[in-house]
Chains A and B, each alone.
Chain A
């Protein structure tokens, strides 16, 4: 020991040694960091990933602006109130997400997803053109529709615009495309859903399904269970097709205008003209929403239902809207 004797201090050489070691560690760390972000690694980058003309780069800004990380995790980082979103796109696919995000407080129905999938752009994005193929390709969407459709979620409705929804989907597509070194770990339990539910909740566990699901299933299975009153049928249809995701029964604006008090009122259109919201106008707005755009709204937000709804179904929904007259307070 050369230090510590006489006047010489141990502290100074000791500190010097520590700084040298720290420098060495820093050098290792910097080298590892450079290797991590080399192009040759082939990691997905957001500027190259698009979905329906929206890029993941735009989506990341939306994701941060709404502080999605404050409830969800992405690549496992964030909060643990809601599910991890890393593989959300891979699980549920773009059509399910497009049906879900505009009104996140409700689980989308099969009809609502089918409506999204009727759009050729969406078919191109999903890489499938039938609902059956879609559900096969995105098993998460199938399970969600089967177990939860029509029920309420724990997520609040957020004021996403149509662009923001598309951008978020592009961003989730990017996250799904990332190589995260095997996280989250692949599920290796070979049991089917019912068995896994029993494992989670005990042998006597009843398969938890949302209360609305049997009703929706009955409505889909045949006309026998369908209500005779057109307004009542319309209400059921509005639920099944996910209309209520964007239209409230009162005057509140969600994504589209509220339905309360619309029937029989004068509506101001984007071109400045006025039109009476009668049966014909409402039916046309359901079938071809872009034909007449209401002032303050954008064309192309609402999907066209012309090929999805039968004549009497459109009539029933119009009857339901008419029945909401005088319920403006809701």
Chain B
């Protein structure tokens, strides 16, 4: 495939910026992991809260850069014309760099307690989780989002001609700016402040980002597998509809304990239990759409990350979110490491991997190296995927121990009692962190230098025929995929029961942790293992196609599938 519209190339700079920010975010993650083990590390120089603010903000920024890169690449294809106002996109790129650098330095002011109060607003930094950016950066970010929305909506065809993917991306990039506005006010009351903070965090992630995610996954499936836009559009429509119908009131799961009334526990438990539905839907569709043609997998790393994104969305966001979404389980998981396991898998898995998938898809096309060396990309995928599962394991089990010691036994000396109990799991974070960093740097190096190194093109060897493929490499059937999905949910239910069991008198009054420990000890490793094996199995069946293909690239392959 070739570039059809020259403004598609504007996406390249955003992908490269994304990779640089990703590397920095991982570095800060490493520092945080080391500080979890030794909290006095860099104390007074780079305090944990500042390092964490950088880790979160860099994470958000590179995910957004991935979104921008993706939309710039696909918007011309979706509109059959060049992007409007390319100068605005170029301006946006430099503006993003300025905002990132500015925000990076203003976060350090938290060590001196300087928020930059003026007119009742904190202009330099505001010390709210995920929304640490001060008002200056916040307003500039709003301008940036408006620019993105403007470019996307003006490039798109008239609304009457929109298909479901246009609707998804149009609504998504429009709402990206609108939702951000709720974070731009200083609020005196803690309960009201948390109420609006979750407007931004929840509606971004579960409202806007997921909508963009589903639409982009659909788009890339059309581009990579020549799936029918109508059938993908059907999935995108139901995905978005279910995300919004469950997620809108589902936000209530953040309103259980922040000082808002008890009735939110009912609404939150009910609606957010439905939130995994669109994720199951999306998961299922990637199975179907990836199998619409049986042609060889041309760009393996792009599909690896696309699959990783969909599977980790289901497991990290869907299942690990589901387990703690009920008031009776959330009362225990809330405010512990259990939530961090969910957050890491969901955010890096779903949105991070989507950005990397898009970069792996778009960069070889822009650099005109369709047969690039795919080995580093695959290696990088396995390193980040496995180590992120490992980190989720450490957070989840460590969090389960934390619940018992902190919330059941009521010991509150973190240094003396809680760290001591969580010690093994604290140590796992930097260990998995090192593996993750190796994987992340592999991916970043590979993507930045792709097409500029001496290439060993991927060989499409013609050896085995499809009938001879058996066992692990045989084509994945719908039935088998369903069994894997069922397995994930079985372990998800075990985890849910484990959190529920903290309510039993045996645990809560007598202080016997056997049951929750046992259920968590079976549930988390089981879920993560099934996830790992499923991805392995899925990819093995896709790779097998590569070995069976013997025909060279035809003219038909080079055509861009119709997205309109």
Q: Which A residues contact B (CB, under 8 angstroms)?
A: 11, 14-15, 18, 21-22, 25-26, 28-29, 32-33, 35-37, 41, 43-47, 57, 60-71, 73-84, 91, 105, 140, 144, 147-148, 153-154, 156-160, 164, 174-175, 178-185, 187-191, 196-197, 199-201, 208, 210
Contacts and interface: CB of A to CB of B under 8 A. Distances in A.
B482 to A, nearest CB: 26
B114 A200 contact: no
B416 interface: yes
B454 interface: no
A92 to B, nearest CB: 10
Contacts of B331: 182-183, 185
Interface of B: 35-36, 39-40, 43-44, 47-50, 52-53, 107, 110-115, 117, 122, 125-129, 132, 163-164, 167, 188-192, 194-195, 197, 233, 237, 240-241, 244-245, 248-249, 251-252, 255-265, 267, 331-332, 334-337, 340, 402, 404-417, 420-421, 508-511
Contacts of B256: 181, 183
B264 A71 contact: no
Nearest to A193: B411
Contact residues of B: prevailing secondary structure: helix
A80 B237 contact: no
A75 B255 CA distance: 10
A46 B508 contact: no
Contacts of B408: 187, 189
Contact of A81 (B48, B264, B409, B416): B48
The 5 A-B residue pairs whose C-beta atoms are closest, nearest first, are A70-B49, A76-B335, A187-B410, A67-B127, A183-B257
Contact of A154 (B40, B262, B263, B265): B40
Nearest to B116: A65
Given A32-B264, A71-B47, A174-B190, 5 more contacts: A61-B117, A81-B48, A184-B407, A199-B409, A208-B416
Contacts of B191: 36-37, 43, 75, 178
Nearest to A74: B190
Contact of A76 (B39, B241, B334, B412): B334
A146 B90 CA distance: 62
Nearest to A25: B248
Contacts of B405: 200
25 contacts: A22-B245, A25-B245, A29-B251, A32-B263, A35-B261, A36-B261, A37-B191, A45-B189, A64-B128, A65-B127, A67-B107, A71-B52, A77-B258, A80-B336, A80-B402, A84-B335, A148-B416, A154-B39, A181-B259, A183-B256, A185-B332, A191-B511, A196-B411, A200-B405, A201-B421
A177 B192 CA distance: 15
A314 to B, nearest CB: 32
Given A64-B128, A67-B132, A187-B409, A46 B112 contact: no
B174 to A, nearest CB: 14
B508 A189 contact: yes
Given A158-B113, A196-B410, A81 B39 contact: yes
A28 to B, nearest CB: 6
Given A65-B127, A185-B407, A28 B261 contact: no
A77 B129 contact: yes
Nearest to B262: A181
Contacts of A62: 113
Contact of A181 (B125, B197, B257): B257
Contacts of A201: 417, 420-421
Contact of A159 (B112, B164, B337): B112
B484 to A, nearest CB: 30
Contacts of A81: 35-36, 39, 48, 414
A236 B237 CA distance: 72
Nearest to A65: B115
Contact of A164 (B113, B237, B410, B414): B113
Nearest to B240: A18
Contacts of B167: 15
A329 to B, nearest CB: 18
Contacts of B417: 197, 200-201, 208
A60 B416 contact: no
Given A64-B122, A80-B337, A189 B129 contact: no
Contacts of B240: 18
A63 B49 contact: no
A70 B53 contact: yes
A183 B256 CA distance: 9
A60 B43 contact: no
Contacts of A78: 129, 335
